[in-house]
Amino acid sequence: MAEMVSYAQPLRAIGQALERLKMQHFEVETDGENFLVRGNVTAPEVNPAAKSLERSMLGRVLSLLTKQRQGITWLPMANPAATITKLDLCYTRQDIDRLEREAQGKRVEPEGAADAASVSQLLRTVGAYVNHKGARLIKITRNTAALSITYEMASGQKIEEVIEPSVVYDFWVRMYLKRAVRGGH
């Protein structure tokens, strides 16, 4: 196994980027010093007035093309609540450093309590959990059903672990309390 890497800070920075994208379900894999992220981003519904105008314009175009309005039955158009886009991202060490600098500048209350349920804190906690085990991170997967992590122990043994939210929260609280005692959040 390669030398010990600290995962908590880089994963927090990546989590902050995923929060801005509103990506809740994802897969993060390590690739040397890089982190590969795959997931879906959901774009909000288009303005209903714009959809109505689009539908009206489509009707006019169809009537001009067919030169007859009779016999055309207008069915309600599907109005999906959102558009889903699949993203594949690669974060290099330089990207992570830039994300961290940007996030530091935006922190309103650096001494305030962090939101344990946020993606950034979740990833930070998972990174600290893997570091605590003295392992090398391979993959984190978060979907609707579960959070799972795959890591490699110093012995070379690969472990895949499904982690309950309560375990993540308990580890986050211990991390937070340890930082509070040291004087830093």
Amino acid at site 177:
L
Which one of 58, 79, 100 terminates a domain? 79
Same domain, 58 and 121: no
pLDDT at residue 81 is higher than 90: no
Same domain, 38 and 50: no
Are the C-beta atoms of 91 and 162 separated by less than 8 Å?
no
Q: How many CB atoms lie under 10 A from the CB of residue 102?
A: 13
| 63 within some domain | yes
Count of domains observed in the chain: 2
Same domain, 71 and 131: no
The arithmetic mean of pLDDT across residues 38-58, rounded, is 68
Lowest mean pLDDT among 108-117, 118-127, 149-158: 108-117
73 pLDDT band, cuts 50/70/90, is: very low
Give me the phi and psi of 136, to 5 degrees please.
-105, 125
pLDDT of the residue at 48? 60
pLDDT at residue 128 is higher than 60: yes
Same domain, 131 and 164: yes
The arithmetic mean of pLDDT across residues 43-71, rounded, is 55
pLDDT at residue 23 is higher than 50: yes
At 85 the three-state DSSP class reads strand
Same domain, 116 and 69: no
- Percent of the chain with pLDDT strictly greater than 90: 46
Which one of 79, 103, 129 terminates a domain? 79
pLDDT of the residue at 1? 45
pLDDT of the residue at 7? 95
Query: Which residue's entry shows tokens 């908590």?
Result: 8
Same domain, 151 and 114: yes
pTM of the model as a whole? 0.72
Same domain, 114 and 101: yes
| 3 within some domain | no
Residues 28, 39: Cα–Cα separation, whole Å: 9
Q: Residue 167 is encoded by which pair of tokens?
A: 């375990």
Same domain, 94 and 62: no
Query: Which residue's entry shows tokens 């994963």?
Result: 11
The arithmetic mean of pLDDT across residues 49-53, rounded, is 60
Cα(first)–Cα(last) distance of the chain, in Å? 31
Are the C-beta atoms of 124 and 137 separated by less than 8 Å?
no
Same domain, 108 and 128: yes
pLDDT at residue 16 is higher than 90: yes
| 2 within some domain | no
Picking from 164, 136, 165, the residue whose alpha carbon sits closest to that of residue 151 is 136
Same domain, 91 and 50: no
Same domain, 122 and 151: yes
Same domain, 108 and 135: yes
At 163 the three-state DSSP class reads strand
Please give the residue range of the domain that contains residue 143. 8-42+87-182
